[in-house]
Chain A
């Protein structure tokens, strides 16, 4: 596989469920990102990891919990979400955090019922 991959591509969950989104990058990059894309709104940066350390948390509610076990993998753990959390969640990576091009995965389309 090449580039940035995300699984699952689609997810439907109830408000009491716990689920996780997975992102994997095959580019040898050191920085990884989670974005939220909602209809009619600009992409919102949620979290940034650089060398497996969280360097940015953009005022994201605690029901979203990121995890970066190594520089190639990034998870977003979800619990007790709200319907307004339904969105496309995009993962991206870059060589490092200092002004490099970000490459995006295909996203996970999340629907919270």
Chain B
């Protein structure tokens, strides 16, 4: 079964500083990988996804993530954080087209990002 670990529950950064949110996954094959963001009281918005190809993927709002198979990681990065980036971030892994099993997304427990002005 797949699993996702987000080791940082809370992260605080200063506005303008760089950001890296960690995500490690466990899955027996090459997974689908996602980062979602959730603002208070809102649903999840897709930031970016990795299915195949270039291991560095670009997303919305200036975010990027790098798939590193050797480390089973898919860390999210942003070079300069804005105050509006304060939210909760979720990493998720999906199983690739399992016969009869579909795509079950497994989510991490999330990282709460606080941005200091």
* Chain A residues packing against B (C-beta within 8 Å): 4, 6, 31, 40-43, 45, 48, 50, 55-56, 90, 92, 94, 97-107, 109
Contact = CB atoms under 8 A, between A and B. Distances in A.
Nearest to A4: B43
Contacts, number: 58
Given A43-B90, A106-B42, A109-B41, A98 B109 contact: no
B94 A107 contact: no
B36 interface: yes
Interface in B1-36: 4, 32, 34, 36
Given A41-B109, A42-B108, A43-B90, A99 B103 contact: yes
Contact of A101 (B4, B46, B95, B104): B46
A103 to B, nearest CB: 7
Contacts of A94: 103
Contacts of B41: 106-107, 109
